[in-house]
């Protein structure tokens, strides 16, 4: 697999995490403003992360997960079935390649 495909896989995972973060925030029935307060971030940071305009570092991601009272795995795990297995293989392949 070439670097172009790796980049596309990584970008797809980033979009997935951003989407899952928004879903979890909405499921918790809190606003972006409330989440920013709970996670000690600016509302703009939360907005940019949820829209994929900004990729959070691990520390920021952990702060957001703590504020939402969720495991970080929730953001990376697809709902189930074949999609989940494929996403897991992609993540393992990418991590193995770059670590």
pLDDT digits 0-9 by tens, 63-82 = 999 999 999 888 886 655 56
Assigned CATH for 3-98: 1.10.260.40
Domain range summary for the chain, segments of one domain joined by + = 3-98
pTM value?
Answer: 0.71
Q: How far apart are CA 62 and CA 85, in angstroms?
A: 24
Rounded mean pLDDT, 16-42: 94
Q: What is the pLDDT of residues 34-67, one digit of tens each?
A: 999 999 999 999 999 999 899 999 999 999 999 9
SS3 5: helix
Q: How confident is the model at residue 12 (pLDDT cuts 50, 70, 90)?
A: confident
């Amino acid at each position: 697999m070439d670097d172009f495909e790796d980049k596309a896989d990584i970008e797809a995972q980033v979009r997935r995490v951003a989407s899952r973060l928004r879903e979890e925030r909405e499921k918790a029935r809190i606003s972006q403003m409330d989440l920013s307060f709970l996670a000690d971030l600016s509302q703009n940071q939360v907005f940019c992360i949820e829209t994929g305009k900004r990729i959070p570092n691990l520390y920021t991601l952990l702060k957001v997960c703590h504020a939402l009272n969720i495991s970080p795995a929730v953001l990376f795990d697809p709902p189930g079935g074949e999609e989940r297995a494929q996403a897991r293989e992609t993540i393992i392949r990418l991590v193995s390649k770059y670590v």
